[in-house]
Amino acid sequence: MVKIKDIANALEMFAPLPLQDDFDNAGLQIGLTDAEVTGVLLCLDVTEAVVDEAVALGCNLIVSHHPIIFKPLKRITGSTYVERCILKALANNVAIYSAHTNIDNAPGGVNYRIADILGLKNVKILVPKEDALLKLAVFVPVAHADAVRDALFAAGCGKIGNYGSCSYNLNGYGTFMAQEGCNPFCGTIGELHRENEVRIETIMPSYIKNRVIKALLDAHPYEEPAYDIYTLKNSWENVGTGVIGELPEECDEAEFLSVVKEKFAVGCVRHTPLLGRKIKRVALCGGAAGSFASAAMSAGADIYITGEARYHDLFSYAGKMTVAVIGHYESEQYTMDIFSEIISGKYPALKVLKTKVDTNPVCYL
């Protein structure tokens, strides 16, 4: 039996909720975590037609990219489409779960998928997340260093780029004097003790801090383990906004834009004046991400592709870097494929369907 919380866990293994931006509201929107899933309907946006479709298909879970509950609600009376969707979902026992900026920012997330569809190589995060990493240093008696280190890695420490189990280990000795009432692992109460110890240093995302400290305390033999946690100014290179990569072969600007138009089925690609350059370095960010064009230019991109950009923002790039605007829905449509791969990969027998409702609110003449 697959429960709503199993699907939520599978999605959050890939795109942990703490990776979402501050303004966001990703996660379970409506429903009970212990309910059994009868089927999953995937979409970018929840509309009333999507809820109807889920009911008709026997799916009691909708997984969307955009959260249906984004701004706080004061009442649910059916006066807006959001309120009507909520009422309809509740009336039909349909749960709604959303993975939004957490899956935008995650390694292998929405922007990696867009890059993949465009055939980009050497893809990296365009704007890595700041102030999200911690350094842990812990002092462990030599015979227990391996066990503590392994426990830290199992809790999620030591990931740098594509490497795992990263640590630095320095031998030295610690001193301590146990007081009356202590129950020391080694040494004698009232006597200064010297113990050979290893200083284990490793790195972790700040959101797993509590889990790591618990693992440390469980694995460490001392009554009062000594450890330090430092905030780091390093960027988190694997996580963040947008991506930048390279085309295998440089390509004519207009030709490249035609490929983008075709691959994303865009009714109309809006772009700044063409510069007559070849395109090799491509930066992109799905959704409303026009403001990240400056990061693309700093990173030396030949072109920046996004879902939405403001008219006045585009003036800054005319003559310097091509900016192409391909539509919010169009840029993020392949997010449904990521959902499908995560859920069906873990639960192959479960019914997982993509919506057939066209929820794009933008049409082209």
- Given the rule CB under 5 A, which residues bind Zn ion? 287, 332
C-alpha pair distances (Å), 116 with each of 128, 163, 246, 258, 362? 19, 22, 11, 17, 25
Q: Which is nearer to Zn ion, 158 or 287 (CB)?
A: 287
Q: Which is nearer to Zn ion, 242 or 287 (CB)?
A: 287
* Integer Rg of the chain from CA: 25
What are the backbone angles phi and psi of residue 174, rounded to the nearest 5°? -110, 155
CB 100 to Zn ion: min, Å = 7
> At closest approach, how far in Å is the CB of 125 from Zn ion?
18
Coil, helix or strand at residue 234? coil
Indicate the residue among 253 and 332 with the shorter CB distance to Zn ion.
332
Q: Least distance in Å: CB of 44 to Zn ion?
A: 7
Kindly report the number of other CB atoms within 10 A of residue 304's CB atom.
31
Token code pair at residue 37: 């899933």
Q: How far is the CB of 93 from Zn ion (least distance, A)?
A: 27
Residue nearest to Zn ion (CB): 287
d(CA 284, CA 306): 6
Secondary structure (3-state) at 223 = coil
Q: How far apart are CA 244 and CA 60, in angstroms?
A: 37
Torsions phi, psi for 165 (to 5 deg): 55, 40
**Residue 67 vs 141, nearer CB to Zn ion:** 67
Please give the Cα distance from 362 to 364 (Å, whole number): 7
CB proximity list for 13: less than 8 A, separation 6 or greater: none
Rounded least distance, CB 310 to Zn ion, Å:
16
Cβ-based burial of 76 (10 A; exposed 0-12, middle 13-18, buried ≥19):
middle
Q: Which is nearer to Zn ion, 103 or 134 (CB)?
A: 103
Q: Can you tell me the distance from the alpha carbon of 24 to that of 32, in angstroms, rounded to the nearest whole number?
A: 21
Q: By C-beta, is 24 or 332 nearer to Zn ion?
A: 332
d(CA 73, CA 70): 9
Q: Residue 207 has what DSSP assignment?
A: G
Cβ 53 to Zn ion, closest distance in Å? 20
CB of 64 to Zn ion, least distance (A): 10
Identity of the residue, 199 or 328, whose beta carbon is nearer to Zn ion in the bound complex: 328
Q: How far is the CB of 287 from Zn ion (least distance, A)?
A: 3
For Zn ion, the closer CB: 24 or 253: 24
Closest CA to 114 of 327, 348, 359: 327
